[in-house]
A = this chain, B = another copy of it.
Amino acid sequence: MSAQIQDSKTPSQLNIDCKNCALEKMCFPAKIDAEELVEFNQLVIHHKPAKRGQYWYRAEQQFRSIFVVRSGCVKTLVITRAGNQQIRGFYLPGEMFGLDALGTGRYTTSAQVLQSSSVCEIPFSKLDEICSLLPSLQRQLLHIMSKEIHNEQCLIAMLGNTTAEERVAAFLCSMSQRFSLRGFSANEFILGMPRIDIGNYLGLAVETVCRVITRFQKKRLLTAQGKHIKILKLEQLYETASVTLPCTSAPH
């Protein structure tokens, strides 16, 4: 089952350069200098936008690349023994996925496009070569991975909360934070994923997610029209989330 995105159409590279990318400051090459950036740019595959539902890789496939979201939203998931999908993470612009495969040599999750999104692919064999020449890049990679660990610890914090309100609040705070760190508004954003995926991710039924959001609206903490979220009382939302945020993905 070679079910990569290349199956249906072969996406060619776009004429995009790391140097001009809006994400440059928060992406992989954030701390390397101009000359090195040119070199780095050459190994990156800047894919054309991919449509909803398509896969960047599937669980068990051999590790080949690390990916960075340029726009849109990507989710990672596994299929449980019962045959259900369980969502492991959402990735917003500037965030990196595929890192978990580095240790085992195989992807442990599948990565699927949620909103149509553009993604950059960094083949690891080449990255590894370059890293051994550029200590700063090597260090940058370590930092990104450490941040990833930190992010996941924060997700764990979120899921460790016992009540649905705490979890949903923590989820929204984490989203707010991630958007904010990428230069978007911390108070108003469009969620890239449907409620059912949020529920799956948080270990809650869709209906519970909806009801909690409705409750938050009645308390005037926020307004929500579908995926469009506007947070009115961020501080109070953080209090509801209870756990020690801020947590997620600072620019690398």
| A residues at B contact (CB < 8 Å) | 78-82, 84, 86-89, 99-104, 108-109, 132, 135, 138, 141-150, 152-153, 155-157, 159-162, 200-205, 238-239, 242-244, 250
Q: A242: which of B80, B146, B155, B204 is its contact (CB, 8 Å)?
A: B80
Give the residue name and chain of the B residue nearest to A87 (CB). Answer: B160
Cβ-defined contact, B152 with A86, below 8 A: no
Listed by A's residue number, 29 A-B pairs whose Cβ atoms lie within 8 Å are A81-B239, A81-B243, A81-B244, A84-B242, A86-B160, A86-B243, A86-B244, A87-B160, A100-B146, A100-B149, A100-B153, A102-B146, A102-B149, A103-B142, A103-B145, A103-B146, A103-B149, A103-B150, A103-B250, A104-B146, A104-B147, A141-B142, A142-B142, A142-B145, A145-B149, A149-B149, A149-B152, A156-B156, A159-B160
- Least CB distance, A179 to chain B, in whole angstroms: 20
User: Which of A100, A103, A138, A161 has the most chain B CB atoms closer than 10 A to its own CB?
Assistant: A103
Not counting A86-B243, A103-B145, a sample of 7 additional A-B residue pairs whose C-beta atoms are within 8 angstroms of each other reads A88-B160, A89-B153, A102-B149, A104-B150, A108-B153, A149-B152, A161-B203
Please tell me how many copies of the chain the complex holds.
Answer: 2
Within 8 Å CB of A86, what residues of B? 157, 160, 243-244
Contact B152 A244 (CB under 8 A): no
Q: A100-B149, A100-B153 are in contact. Are A80 and B244 (CB under 8 A)?
A: yes
